[in-house]
Structure 1
Amino acid sequence: MSSDTPDAPARRVETARIEQEMEQSYIDYAMSVIAGRALPDVRDGLKPVHRRILYAMHEAGVSSRSSHRKSSSIVGSTMGDYHPHGDSAIYDALARMAQDFSMRYPLVDGQGNFGSIDGDPPAAMRYTEARMAPIAEELLEDIEKDTVDFSPNYDDRMEEPEVLPSALPNLLVNGSSGIAVGMSTNVPPHNLGEVIDATVHLIHNPDCTVEDLMEHVTGPDFPTGANIVGRNAIHQAYKTGRGRLRVRAELEVEDGDKIVVTELPYQANKSRLVERIADDVNEGKLEGIRDLRDESDRDGIRIVIQLKRGTDPELVKNQLLESHLESTFGVINLALVDGEPRVLDLKETLEAYLDHRRAVVRRRSEYDLAEAEDRAHILEGRLTALEHVDDVVDVIQDAEDRDDAKAALREAYDFSEAQVEHIVSMQLGSLTSMETEAIEDEYEDVQARIDRLTEILEHESELLGVIEEELLEIKDEYDDDRRTTILEDEGEVTREDLIAEEDVVVVVSEDDYIKRMPLSQFRAQRRGGKGIIGTDLKEGDQVSSVFVANTHDYLLCFTNHGQVYELKTYQVPEMSRTARGKSAVNLLDLAEDEEITAVVNTADLDAEESGYLTMATRHGRVKRTGVEEFENILSTGIRAVELEEGDALVDVEVTDGTRDLVVATAGGMSIRFDEEEVRSMGRSARGVGGIKLQEGDEVTGIAAVDAAEHEWLLTVTDNGYGKRTAIEDYRQQSRYGKGLIDIKTDERNGPACTIEAVGPGDHLVVMSERGQIMRTRVEDVSTFGRNTMGVTVMELHEGDDVASVAVVPERRVEA
């Protein structure tokens, strides 16, 4: 080999940009988590780990009729053959399927300690035993009849089902929860009988509405019982696939001096709940309670709260409900449909299941028809042979060997290979008249079965009839009484109930005038327009901030002084575009020179399992604080960040620990870094350096980039110019660097005033200091690279500047 000939390994080396490789690797990882681990399939309602556990048990013969098998054996088979992940994760999934307080209809029949509602973990897998519950076998029924597709397992040694046949709508019946990358699912369990009744109704009425189906499915049915307060939230969840249900414990007053709790909200930890109540009593937060006992046993839950003499039981009940015995279940009906995650309403969920069952029953019928036709073919040969039994016997006797006999029979009676193979293998005992009669009866039965299967395959109505019949059989076998009660919301009518739910624009001026206007008043215009009058300011006043919210939203308003206040949107007076607004003194206790600089919707906080509020100050400091630090906000506000002299809070974003932060300055600089570089700290902390500012420069905003939602960073300058730039153009750096040039801030553009992470379909609401307001589509703002001039976003009058920019996410843009 020549010395200058490259060796083989060197020829296989490919050059790649690290950011592209990391992006692709992260996308591959995200899709693996979404499709392969965290989300259930809409067809069988199972995640891969649960499906593999049940299939491994099926293959090992661990059915409901077999003896229990060591859990470690089941986990080992699952891990070795189908699920090459940690054994603890597999065992956790197995244990949960055996917990009657977690699953409405447990899929595993466990023997031993599989955990408790007190949060006790299951015993080690070597101590517990398990087998399939009878209802789990309904999920696997007919899997051997080519009813579902199989794919190679992780090492190509064997095959595993991509989905189970699932003779019941398991996604709704048992629910599911999971957190993937950038999305999560939280499907509540339901009563099997109600779900089957709704499915049957859909079979007969394919054009029915969600409201029609709700006549059968009245609401979730939790294994722990309890109560759901209000039907509107249930309707919202079934109509949109998302909703927030108030789940209240079942409690009553006994003997006038004690409150007894007999049912807890779903997924509540009983032991921790009792401890928290006791802590509040000891700290004086709950008054009137003399004693607290947990008298629960195998027969059910019983928590006894003994009251002091003279205490009003109803008052204590209300305090307990407000603080401990009422929780929120956030419904996110998200599942994999054709391998892609989708949020489904009630009807779409049942339609997807019915499509699956159609395919299963059709494939099963085709399999059974092929077998029946094969059997009929054999029986036809036997009947022909029995009609000419003497001649057949003579032919066989005269043949030299088996092959000659088969050839002679084929020539004499036109038998097929399969028929002659069967005939020459018949025993003499099958030639009796009784055997002949049995064969004729069997042939008639097989022929009738062929006719029935052909009818099912040729007529959609017959196929749906089979699905309905099998569903009703399962209902007869497993249906039980509803456990969760739906309560009417008997609370007093509040002002919120009288306010129409709509998106509004809220405008705040420097002199603390505030008002709201319907967002629908501002139709989307092409960029570069002057907009319309958004508010009439008194002389010397100017707009300080504008934001978009729903009238039913609860908002956290952050000010330049580092304070945060809570505001209900409907409390802001609704006024016309030309109105000045009302003084905010009765809504927010702002200081003389205090201005709102950022607004966070608490609905965004509720969407995060454990989120953060990430803040940026004028002098370039960045701070992350857990959302739990902002749960109890006083009417006078609370401290959000400690500021150095001359510094001010300029922007706040909600993050979840996985996002990138982009800090932008008035001088057109920006820096992008991982939010994990900013450690979480308390409200009284000052934060850490986010960007090194050039002399005279200051921070104007911070953007939190969610790769699943955002494609561009949008920058707007004081003089009304702006641009969209692909997020990839902002390479990730380490925190507290000088950053990169974002936009040119020459005399034409003026200083940069804001930066926002935006995606397709988003709208912008831009407002000037003199009260002009314009709404435009994000896509109408041209795309440029970094360090460019941009285009006119809003044409301003002479002497006017952009005051504030709000983003209306695509999900809130009116169709």
Structure 2
Amino acid sequence: MPAEIQQRVEEAYLEDQLKVSYINYAMSVIVGRALPDVRDGFKPVHRRILYAMYHDLSLHHNKRYSKCAGVVGEVLKRYHPHGDSAVYDTLVRLAQEWVMRYPLVDGQGNFGSIDGDPPAAYRYTECRLEQIADYYLNDIDKETVNFGPNFDDTLQEPLILPTRLPNLLINGSAGIAVGMATNIPPHNMREVIDAVCAQIEAPDIDMKDLMKHVRAPDFPTGGIIYGSEGIQEMYETGRGKITVRAKAVIERLRNGKDAIVITEMPYQVAKTPLIEKISELVREEKLKGISAMRDESDRDGIRLVIELKKGEPPQVVLNNLFKHTQLQITYGAILLCLVHNQPLILNLKRIVQHFIDFRKDVVTRRTQFELRKAEERAHILEGLKIAIAHINEVVNIIKKSKDTDDARKKLTRRFKLTEVQAQAILDMTLKRLTGLEVEKIEDELKQLEETIKELKSILASEKKLMGVITAELQELKKLFGDDRRTEIVKKAEDFSVEDLIAEEDVVVTISHDSYIKRIPVSSYRRQRRGGHGVTGMKTKDEDAVEHLFVASTHNYILFFTDQGKCLWLKVYDVPEGSRASRGKALTNCLAISGDERITAFVPVKEFTEGSFLFMVTRDGTIKRVALPEFSNPRSAGIRAITLDEKDALIGVKMTSGNSEIILSTRNGTAIRFHENDVRVMGRSAGGVRGIRLGKGDAVVSASLANKGADLLTVTEKGYGKRTPLEEYRVQSRGGKGIINMKATDRNGKVIDVLEVSDKDELLLITKKGVVMRIRVKEVRECGRNTQGVRLINLAAGDALSDVARVVQEEAGESEESPEPDKA
């Protein structure tokens, strides 16, 4: 290395140099590109575009449009030494009405769309300033703001714009700097101006009162803001999360189907990608119930029609759309801006105060400028007035003077004028000597004297100065203020799982090896008594379906094990399967041990007072517990009843407190008693005797004796009968009971006893997974001491496993969809 170069080399540690260089780069990005100034709400590129259009190109709102290519070129040539695409993208955003709450550029041509379409190239598009932009710039020639050299020191550019509007709030801003980001939402002009005026009126106004004026952001695309917590946090701390939803209505189409119609979108959500996302979720079956989608948007507004399948609950589909797509977004607000070239996160009051301070400075400087100009003009007019009063002498002095300088000096000396006044007299044309012109000068001087007096009073009184600021804001409010577009719902609606799942009736089945699933009730078609049924479940070798019941997807299910434990599950958490599928192992759904078996189920809508759970064990022990005691089971389950060593819980029924219970045994006996014979006990109690059993007998069922119902008894070999409840007399608990059905070799043992009516239907299910559906009225009514009739033809080696009651559908509904019995 040459010696002269070696002398100029400074050694430095790379680590230290990287730190210094990166900090310099970061501050350059923060101050020069990414963050808006708290005063005018603009980043440098916005400021330069608007200034070039206003000052250099004179593209005012009442002038012709000009090619955007020319504007971009002018900005690059004079002020902004960066890429042309960055300048054009910014120019386009200033014109997009779905981006800017109050657009500042009037674009002509293709400036993109809310669908996410890009704008045309700048050689095709044209632009000019919007009328509102004049009020951002029209005081700039009155020494209201400071100027600085441009990038090559050939021109001066404004370091800030003298905007009369709080642009940072009304149009918002977004940008990513180095190690920080800003995301300021737009607001309604009327609300923001009212807040500024309120803070001018009462500088100590608190945040609560300020938020009475600025209620929430107001996005250009409308939508609905849900919840006030995020809004309040944003205004108080400068950070907050705001939930924004699309505006949707549910319409009934001519074909009888429902449709969800989206009319307003969340801010910064493009429509085309949203449609593509919905289509993708439908294909992946993550969104169900949608049959078609049409975009009917036009120049009058957005109209996205999502057509639903017939019978689909529209609110559930809409909730799922909110949950899984950008029809609902969380807007993360960060009120970060530059204050004296320092990045700070400000709350609402500080932002408003900085704008007020800025306007005070601008109006003061403008008033001082106007005062100076008025005084200078008055000074000249006073000289002209003197000259006109002595016009002949003035003319003679000028005629006799050698040159202009000589004339100026003589006029100054003769009439005690200043050089400025003398020069104005020399510049005066002869037409100003007419009587009318003389009167005009006097009138103008008089007006100037009043103006000077007024301007001085403004500078002398802060109250009057603030009055000027307020009056200008109110004028702009009348000119450009509009109604709020974004609705506000004060309470946020957090979606529960129920909001996302349609409420429908399902059949829940559990096999002998504890596989569980749920299937819509409509999956089972009705057949006549004596038919062969249809396959309802594929089971493993030596597995068989043991239990079946009907419940709503929004219900709770209390699961009771043979060991007296209770577990809690929502029906929608039961895995969905087809009629022929096996289902899912219960051990994956509930916390049960390997030696436990589920023996009873109770669907519950609400855990209300006045309802009870009536428990029955295999050995005839009974127990009554208040339902609310089971409202908060733990994940590992809770104790429902304390059992003897060889006993097991076989059934649980929900009662009203005035119910009658019928216990039925495997050998065909039954006993009927009032539930009040059993006192209400705690969960850990063991219970009392309900029926005295014979040798080898066991309780198989507990039924509720409702007025007008029959008792349906079903045996393992497919036989059954229904007997009027009147044939079962009420006894005291603890007796042997009476004969219910003869348990002969033909019938086999009793598997279940149900309380039914003629309107009910039955679902019969066998150990080999065959399911059959019949009407109860097809089962012949028999006395207690009879064997019954055949309900289902069983294949060799098969036997009935379980039976469930289904209430007959209402008139006019499809035969395929009866309502289940509500426990």
Report the TM range for the smaller structure's normalisation. 0.5 to 0.7
Candidates 192, 199, 205, aligned match of 2:196: 199
Distance 1:78 1:11 in 2: 42
Corresponding residue SS for 2:60: coil
Aligned residue identity for 1:204: E
8 Å CA contact 2:226–2:493 kept in 1: the answer is no
Alpha-carbon deviations, 1:131-189, whole Å to 9, x = none? 11111121112101111000101110101111100110000000000000111000000
Once the two structures are TM-superposed, the CA of residue 254 in structure 1 deviates from its matched residue by 0.5
Counterpart in the other structure of 1:469: 471
Counterpart in the other structure of 1:15: 11
Alpha-carbon deviations, 1:553-603, whole Å to 9, x = none? xxxxxxxxxxxxxxxxxxxxxxxxxxxxxxxxxxxx9xxxxxxxxxxxxxx
Candidates 97, 104, 128, aligned match of 2:94: 97
- The 5 A counterparts of 1:282-301 are 282-301=283-302
8 Å CA contact 2:228–2:492 kept in 1: the answer is no
Counterpart in the other structure of 1:51: 47
Candidates 212, 216, 219, aligned match of 1:215: 212
Candidates 178, 181, 186, aligned match of 2:178: 181
Counterpart in the other structure of 2:311: 310
Counterpart in the other structure of 1:230: 227
Counterpart in the other structure of 2:398: 396
Counterpart in the other structure of 1:88: 85
Corresponding residue SS for 1:359: helix
Once the two structures are TM-superposed, the CA of residue 40 in structure 1 deviates from its matched residue by 0.4
Once the two structures are TM-superposed, the CA of residue 429 in structure 1 deviates from its matched residue by 2.1
Q: Are residue 159 (structure 1) and residue 156 (structure 2) matched?
A: yes
8 Å CA contact 1:106–1:133 kept in 2: the answer is yes
Distance 2:45 2:273 in 1: 29
- The 5 A counterparts of 1:431-446 are 431-446=433-448
Distance 1:30 1:490 in 2: 38
Distance 2:313 2:6 in 1: 82
Aligned residue identity for 1:312: P
Distance 1:93 1:399 in 2: 61
Alpha-carbon deviations, 1:595-620, whole Å to 9, x = none? xxxxxxxxxxxxxxxxxxxxxxxxxx
Aligned residue identity for 1:48: P
8 Å CA contact 1:245–1:330 kept in 2: the answer is yes
Counterpart in the other structure of 1:133: 130
Counterpart in the other structure of 1:360: 362
Once the two structures are TM-superposed, the CA of residue 6 in structure 1 deviates from its matched residue by 7.1
Structure 1 pair 80/401, CA: closer, same or farther in 2 (3 Å)?
Answer: closer
Aligned residue identity for 1:438: K
Aligned residue identity for 1:52: R
Distance 1:253 1:424 in 2: 80
Distance 2:4 2:149 in 1: 31
8 Å CA contact 1:141–1:167 kept in 2: the answer is no
TM-score, normalised relative to structure 1:
0.59
Distance 2:490 2:459 in 1: 47
Distance 1:410 1:418 in 2: 9
Distance 1:403 1:467 in 2: 46
Alpha-carbon deviations, 1:248-284, whole Å to 9, x = none? 1100110161111111100001111111111111111
Q: Are residue 37 (structure 1) and residue 39 (structure 2) matched?
A: no
Aligned residue identity for 2:274: L
Q: Are residue 114 (structure 1) and residue 116 (structure 2) matched?
A: no
Counterpart in the other structure of 1:488: 490
Alpha-carbon deviations, 1:63-100, whole Å to 9, x = none? 11211111111111111111111111111111111111
Aligned residue identity for 2:182: T
Distance 1:425 1:69 in 2: 39
Counterpart in the other structure of 1:241: 238
Distance 1:62 1:492 in 2: 49
Once the two structures are TM-superposed, the CA of residue 425 in structure 1 deviates from its matched residue by 2.2
Distance 1:478 1:493 in 2: 38
8 Å CA contact 2:139–2:366 kept in 1: the answer is yes
Counterpart in the other structure of 1:448: 450
Distance 2:106 2:83 in 1: 22
Aligned residue identity for 2:32: G
Corresponding residue SS for 2:233: helix
Alignment identity in percent? 52
Aligned residue identity for 1:329: Y
Candidates 335, 339, 342, aligned match of 2:341: 339
Distance 1:41 1:132 in 2: 21
Counterpart in the other structure of 1:277: 278
Q: Are residue 330 (structure 1) and residue 341 (structure 2) matched?
A: no
Alpha-carbon deviations, 1:89-131, whole Å to 9, x = none? 1111111111111111111111111111111111111111111
Distance 1:97 1:421 in 2: 47
Distance 2:394 2:144 in 1: 40
Corresponding residue SS for 1:202: helix
- The 5 A counterparts of 1:719-758 are none
Structure label with greater radius of gyration: 2
Distance 2:49 2:296 in 1: 36
- The 5 A counterparts of 1:544-555 are none
8 Å CA contact 1:99–1:106 kept in 2: the answer is yes
Distance 1:16 1:138 in 2: 51
8 Å CA contact 1:361–1:463 kept in 2: the answer is yes
Once the two structures are TM-superposed, the CA of residue 478 in structure 1 deviates from its matched residue by 0.6
Distance 1:69 1:492 in 2: 50
Once the two structures are TM-superposed, the CA of residue 7 in structure 1 deviates from its matched residue by 4.5
Corresponding residue SS for 1:224: coil
Distance 1:433 1:79 in 2: 53
Aligned residue identity for 2:374: A
Corresponding residue SS for 2:157: strand
Aligned residue identity for 1:50: H
Corresponding residue SS for 2:231: helix
Once the two structures are TM-superposed, the CA of residue 428 in structure 1 deviates from its matched residue by 2.2
Runs of 4+ in 1 over 6 A off after TM superposition: none
Distance 1:465 1:376 in 2: 26
Once the two structures are TM-superposed, the CA of residue 490 in structure 1 deviates from its matched residue by 6.0
Corresponding residue SS for 1:217: coil
Distance 1:186 1:258 in 2: 35
Distance 2:53 2:165 in 1: 19
Aligned residue identity for 1:303: L
Distance 2:5 2:141 in 1: 46
Distance 1:72 1:39 in 2: 26
- The 5 A counterparts of 1:248-647 are 248-255=245-252, 257-324=258-325, 325-489=327-491, 491=493
Once the two structures are TM-superposed, the CA of residue 406 in structure 1 deviates from its matched residue by 1.8
Distance 2:493 2:52 in 1: 50
Corresponding residue SS for 1:207: coil
Once the two structures are TM-superposed, the CA of residue 247 in structure 1 deviates from its matched residue by 0.1
Aligned residue identity for 1:217: V
Distance 2:495 2:323 in 1: 17
Structure 1 pair 351/306, CA: closer, same or farther in 2 (3 Å)?
Answer: same
Corresponding residue SS for 2:322: helix
What is the root-mean-square deviation of aligned Cα atoms in Å?
2.1
Aligned residue identity for 2:312: T
Distance 1:301 1:424 in 2: 67
Corresponding residue SS for 2:484: coil
Distance 1:424 1:293 in 2: 77
Counterpart in the other structure of 2:504: none
Alpha-carbon deviations, 1:441-492, whole Å to 9, x = none? 0001111111111111111111111111111111111111110000132637
Once the two structures are TM-superposed, the CA of residue 369 in structure 1 deviates from its matched residue by 0.9
Once the two structures are TM-superposed, the CA of residue 397 in structure 1 deviates from its matched residue by 2.6
Corresponding residue SS for 2:310: coil
Distance 2:407 2:77 in 1: 50
Q: Are residue 73 (structure 1) and residue 70 (structure 2) matched?
A: yes
Counterpart in the other structure of 1:690: none
Which structure 1 segments of 5+ residues have no match?
A: 495-588, 590-634, 637-815
